[in-house]
């Protein structure tokens, strides 16, 4: 049995873990990044990295970008309707195998130690430290960071589970010929009206299309039928599905604790995803970046350090995520009750399309949508509860 001592152990080498580990290593903290899978590993995800998420990183992701998107083909109830374009890129398309490996590599380059293919099974306090068991190995550290995703073990060990509710996404990798792939060029597909409170997508990659649908958990049983309807809408062959998997999308409950004792949670483990779009990579990166100074402060003797992380997330991230929770409720009402009106107000509305593009480019935030309501802002506060 091996036993090694670190300042910080980060569990999970997704975007949240890799960014946290890199930030800590850059700050001179002795950091171990532990991942249960061998890298590169598959992760159920559409692989859309918004411009605003890419801009958070201090390195270029171009080596793993397979498409640059600047427009969308909108359909309503799986019937094709209209194409919209934006003068600048909005989203970079990647596969998570390559994107996450790039991020983990950057963490290693900065000095973090990566151990992959090792699943953390137990986290427990040990004489003023944290003891982590992974197979036959035992590691100790002053701080543990749970970046182990929606099914995280660290949250449970820290007594922080049940801090979020979940939506569900089903994603299929669909192989397509050169002609079909070329037809998607710089476009993504977005389908509204099929699933109440959710949407379907076609995200093109280098050699395949990611086709999926996501929304409230109660529609779990219908997702596969709807996904196949979407394939038909875009003339894609069901027999070309190479892989189809579902995964949960966690949405943090207002005020739920994400730090306790010597540990904290980042990314999906903390439930930090957009309740409308399911986007989580931006929030995984951002929460990792917020965690770094809090952990460094804690290691330097600021006993309040990890609580400071939760306060910073509440102040810097939650106001925007609260708006997405309110928008998710509005989205559900509209798509349940009057879907054609909803389509008119969103996809067919030039102003809404431009605002959407500016939000995912990071030029505008969801908060500005709330601000534009002036005295009616309280509606958002009520809905975000």
Ligand X SMILES: Cc1cc2nc3c(=O)[nH]c(=O)nc-3n(C[C@H](O)[C@H](O)[C@H](O)COP(=O)(O)OP(=O)(O)OC[C@H]3O[C@@H](n4cnc5c(N)ncnc54)[C@H](O)[C@@H]3O)c2cc1C
Residues lying near ligand X in the complex (CB under 6 A): 11-17, 34-37, 41, 43-48, 119-120, 147-149, 152-153, 169, 171, 212, 214, 247, 249, 267-269, 273, 278-282, 284
CB of 37 to ligand X, least distance (A): 5
Residue 20 near residue 10, CB atoms below 8 Å: yes
The residue sitting closest to ligand X, measured at its beta carbon, is 280
Q: CA of 212: how far to CAs of 29, 120, 171, 225, in Å?
A: 40, 30, 4, 11
Nearer to ligand X, 196 or 333 (CB): 196
Residue 127 near residue 37, CB atoms below 8 Å: no
The span from the CA of 307 to the CA of 19, in Å, is 20
Q: Token digits for 24?
A: 């800590």
Nearer to ligand X, 28 or 110 (CB): 110
Nearer to ligand X, 169 or 200 (CB): 169
Q: Token digits for 115?
A: 């151990």
In a 13 Å sphere around the CA of 81, the CA atoms on its Cβ side amount to 18
Residue 259 near residue 145, CB atoms below 8 Å: no
Q: Token digits for 263?
A: 């540990």
CB of 103 to ligand X, least distance (A): 9
CB of 32 to ligand X, least distance (A): 11
CB of 191 to ligand X, least distance (A): 14
What are the φ/ψ torsions at residue 3 (nearest 5 degrees)?
A: -135, 125
CB of 193 to ligand X, least distance (A): 19
CB of 285 to ligand X, least distance (A): 9
The span from the CA of 67 to the CA of 62, in Å, is 10
CB of 19 to ligand X, least distance (A): 8
Nearer to ligand X, 37 or 348 (CB): 37
CB of 210 to ligand X, least distance (A): 8
Nearer to ligand X, 26 or 39 (CB): 39
Kindly give the interhelix angle for 318-337 and 305-316, rounded to the nearest 10 degrees.
Answer: 40
Nearer to ligand X, 273 or 346 (CB): 273
Nearer to ligand X, 291 or 347 (CB): 291
Residue found by looking up tokens 């909108």 in the block:
74
Residue 146 near residue 306, CB atoms below 8 Å: no
Task: Find residue 99's DSSP bridge partners.
Answer: none
Residue found by looking up tokens 């670190």 in the block:
6
What are the φ/ψ torsions at residue 307 (nearest 5 degrees)?
A: -65, -30
Nearer to ligand X, 43 or 385 (CB): 43
Q: What is the SS3 assignment for 12?
A: coil
């Amino acid at each position: 049995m091996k036993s090694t001592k670190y300042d910080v152990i980060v569990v999970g080498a997704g975007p949240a873990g890799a960014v946290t580990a890199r930030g800590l290593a850059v700050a001179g903290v002795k950091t171990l990044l532990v991942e249960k899978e061998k890298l590169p590993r598959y992760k159920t995800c559409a692989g859309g990295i918004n411009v605003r998420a890419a801009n958070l990183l201090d390195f270029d992701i171009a080596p793993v970008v397979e498409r640059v998107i600047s427009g969308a083909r909108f359909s309503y109830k799986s019937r094709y309707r209209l194409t919209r374009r934006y003068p600048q890129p909005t989203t970079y398309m990647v596969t998570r195998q390559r994107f996450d490996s790039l991020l983990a590599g950057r963490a290693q380059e900065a000095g973090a130690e990566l151990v992959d293919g090792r699943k953390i099974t137990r986290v427990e306090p040990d004489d003023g430290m944290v003891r982590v068991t992974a197979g036959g190995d035992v590691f100790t550290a002053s701080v543990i960071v749970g970046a182990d995703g929606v099914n995280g073990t660290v949250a449970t060990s820290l007594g922080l589970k049940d801090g979020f509710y979940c939506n569900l996404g089903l994603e299929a990798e669909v192989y397509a010929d050169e002609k079909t792939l070329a037809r998607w060029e710089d476009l993504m597909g977005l389908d509204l009206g099929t699933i109440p409170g959710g949407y379907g997508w076609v995200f093109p990659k280098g050699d395949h299309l990611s086709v999926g649908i996501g929304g409230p958990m109660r529609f779990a049983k219908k997702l596969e039928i709807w996904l196949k309807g979407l394939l038909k809408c875009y003339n894609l062959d069901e027999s070309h599905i190479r892989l189809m998997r579902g995964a949960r999308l966690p949405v943090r409950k207002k005020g739920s604790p994400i730090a306790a004792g010597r540990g904290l949670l980042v990314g999906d483990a903390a439930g930090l995803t957009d309740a409308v779009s399911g986007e989580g990579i931006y929030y995984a990166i951002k929460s990792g970046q917020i965690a770094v100074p809090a952990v460094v402060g804690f290691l330097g003797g600021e006993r309040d350090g990890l609580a400071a992380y939760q306060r910073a997330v509440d102040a810097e991230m939650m106001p925007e995520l609260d708006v997405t929770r309110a928008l998710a409720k509005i989205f559900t009402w509209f798509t349940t009750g009057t879907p054609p009106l909803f389509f008119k107000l969103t996809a067919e509305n030039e102003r809404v399309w431009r605002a959407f593009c500016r939000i995912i480019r990071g030029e505008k935030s969801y908060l500005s949508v709330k601000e534009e309501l002036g005295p009616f802002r309280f509606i958002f506060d009520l809905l975000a509860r």
